[in-house]
Amino acid sequence: MATQPSVTIRDVAKKAGVSVATVSRVLNNSALVTDKTRNRIQSVAEKLRYIPNASARGLNTRRSDIVALLLPAVNGDFFSEVIRGADEAAGEQGYHILVSSHHNDPSEMQAELQVIAGRVDGLLLMAPNQDAHTLRRKILPSNLPSVLLNCRPGREPLDALTVDNKTGAMEVVAHLIGHGHRRIAIIKGLKENIDSRERLEGYRQALKQYGCERLSALEIEGSFVESSGYDAVPAILNLRPRPTAVFASNDAMAVGALSALLDAGVSIPGEIALAGFDDTPGVQYLTPSLTTVKVPISDLGAQAMKRVLDKVHGRKRLKPEHLVLPTELVIRHSCGCQF
């Protein structure tokens, strides 16, 4: 069976009775075409089911209408929500996103950026394990509008959006202390991760502020994935005296810890209270429902996308800005609260 030849811009021009240049102007939203001609061309293109060639359009507009989103990983509820927010914000302005992961490896970041060079209009990069100085000097393209996510820019002239991790951690630990817990364990994230470090700092500061003893034995290693939360529980249960509350530095580890505690026959929150961080989709449906710190995850992606598109279009004379998004304590059953 013969395949039907694809419709070209010349087919649209011929059917509409105009030049190829006029069709091109309509496709590129040029103001140099009357509304009557524009409507006729758009009607013909729709009837012929013409799909513009993005590469050819880019030759005329010098834009691809694509923004790259490079993340440490693309699996998991947190990253899915970042992608959702960025994609919705991009779609509102007629843009598409190209999503890839770099696995926290600088060489992979550089390889990905070489692949997309000249093919995207902007870049959103989440690299919480990398310092801003290295990113600016060795990784980020100097000629590509970029915004960092979950990376502290320090004194570097970079646009960045981060989360108020320290305040969020302080609030959830203070809430547990308010329930009478004095011996609170924390399941930490990766040492080099800025979110992990700030949440640990918030945990420690809350203990100090409320006069609770800080013990290194209560700071359990984790890696921000469910399995590390599960694997942390035996060490917690072997402590003497046993902690009466556990703060997991993200919801994924809290979910793993919840499963391990239930497998060990530990009542939550009767014997051990539990709290997480992020408020990822679904944790409200756990049994018990998870007390956590709400991060505006999709908004993180959306605001970063809007910022980078403002830079792409030169809408404002933008100076590099570091925006910190607030968190919110969400109280549910796992901490011992009753509704």
In order, the DSSP letters of 138-151 are IIS-TTS-EEEES-
**Cα–Cα distances in angstroms (integers) from residue 101 to residues 105, 125, 204, 299, in the given order:** 10, 10, 32, 20
Residues 6+ apart with CB under 8 A from 155: none
Identity of residue 326? P
With vertex at residue 210, the alpha carbon angle to CA 177 and CA 247, rounded to the nearest 5 degrees, is 40
8 A C-beta contact, residue 108 and residue 114: no
Helices assigned H by DSSP within 179-281: 194-209, 226-237, 251-263
8 A C-beta contact, residue 277 and residue 248: yes
Domain with CATH 1.10.260.40 in the chain: 9-61
pLDDT at 228 exceeding the cut of 90: yes
Question: In this structure, what token pair is assigned to residue 26?
Answer: 């309509």
pLDDT at 244 exceeding the cut of 70: yes
Three-class SS state of 53:
coil
CATH topology of domain 165-295+329-335: Rossmann fold (3.40.50)
**How many whole angstroms separate alpha carbon 190 and alpha carbon 69?**
22
Residue 221's DSSP bridge partners are none
Q: How confident is the model at residue 258 (pLDDT cuts 50, 70, 90)?
A: very high
Provide mean pLDDT across the span 204-213: 96
Provide mean pLDDT across the span 140-149: 87
**How many whole angstroms separate alpha carbon 338 and alpha carbon 25?**
62
57-68 pLDDT per residue, tens: 554 546 778 999
**How many whole angstroms separate alpha carbon 125 and alpha carbon 104?**
11
pLDDT at 4 exceeding the cut of 60: no
Provide mean pLDDT across the span 47-53: 75
Average pLDDT taken over every residue of the chain:
89
pLDDT at 75 exceeding the cut of 90: no
Is CATH 1.10.260.40 the classification given to domain 9-61? yes
pLDDT at 24 exceeding the cut of 60: yes
Task: Please report how many Cα atoms fall inside a 13 Å half-sphere around the Cα of residue 321, on the Cβ side.
Answer: 13
**What's the pLDDT at 118?**
78
Question: In this structure, what token pair is assigned to residue 319?
Answer: 């100076």
Closest of 243, 229, 181 to residue 206, by C-alpha? 181
Provide mean pLDDT across the span 26-43: 84
- For domain 66-163+297-325, give its CATH number from 3.40.50.300, 3.50.50.60, 3.60.21.10, 3.40.50.2300: 3.40.50.2300
**How many whole angstroms separate alpha carbon 186 and alpha carbon 222?**
9
Residue 324's DSSP bridge partners are 162
pLDDT at 178 exceeding the cut of 50: yes
**How many whole angstroms separate alpha carbon 274 and alpha carbon 184?**
10
SS3 content of the chain, % helix, strand, coil (to 5): 45, 15, 40
Where is pLDDT greater, at 176 or 76?
A: 176
Helix axis angle, 297-313 to 77-92, nearest 10°: 40
**How many whole angstroms separate alpha carbon 121 and alpha carbon 313?**
10
Residue the block writes with tokens 């060639």:
53
290-336 pLDDT per residue, tens: 999 999 999 999 999 999 999 888 866 678 889 999 999 999 999 99
Identity of residue 30? S
8 A C-beta contact, residue 129 and residue 192: yes
**How many whole angstroms separate alpha carbon 152 and alpha carbon 131?**
7
Q: Among 135-139, 218-222, 253-257, which is the least confidently predicted range?
A: 135-139
**What's the pLDDT at 284?**
95
Q: How confident is the model at residue 260 (pLDDT cuts 50, 70, 90)?
A: very high
**What's the pLDDT at 106?**
83
**What's the pLDDT at 300?**
94
Provide mean pLDDT across the span 212-225: 95
Provide mean pLDDT across the span 247-270: 97
**How many whole angstroms separate alpha carbon 122 and alpha carbon 118?**
10
Provide mean pLDDT across the span 181-205: 95
**What's the pLDDT at 53?**
60
Q: What is the pTM of this model?
A: 0.79
pLDDT at 2 exceeding the cut of 50: no
Domain with CATH 3.40.50.2300 in the chain: 66-163+297-325, 165-295+329-335
